[in-house]
Amino acid sequence: MRVEQIHRASTAGLMILSLAAFLTVATAALGFLLSGQLPAPGKDEGTGAHIFQLSVAALIPVGLFFLGTADWTHPGRIVRGLVLPAAARAAVQVPQRRPSDF
């Protein structure tokens, strides 16, 4: 594989993993908004929490591949490749507090 192909794959990986983390939190928030009640705590965190944790953990090595294979002569391209993953990851941090925590 060439460096450009690895960089393209890591860009796609960053987007997919960031959106996966965002969608797991968004579906949980949507369930709360539609029902008006928080789900009862169970023994396990659930599949959504595990998907979220794995996608966030996988962002680290994929992000390192992205940065390691980036063409640093064109920093604007690097920033554009990070905008969507950074926005999705930032949006995930917002709804992580329960209303009872305030």
At 6 the pLDDT is: 92
Domain boundaries, the chain: 3-37+47-95
Q: Output the six-digit token pair for 73.
A: 């002569």
**Residue of 26, 101, 15, 5 whose CA lies nearest to 63:** 15
At 96 the pLDDT is: 55
- Compute the radius of gyration of the chain from its Cα atoms: 17
Q: Output the six-digit token pair for 53.
A: 């944790």
Whether 38 and 98 have beta carbons less than 8 Å apart is answered as yes
Between CA 26 and CA 71 the distance in angstroms is 33
Q: Which amino acid is at 36?
A: G
Whether 51 and 23 have beta carbons less than 8 Å apart is answered as no
Q: What is the block-wise mean pLDDT of the chain (102 residues), using blocks of 10 residues?
A: 90 93 87 77 81 92 93 90 85 62 50
**Residue of 77, 53, 54 whose CA lies nearest to 66:** 77
At 67 the pLDDT is: 92
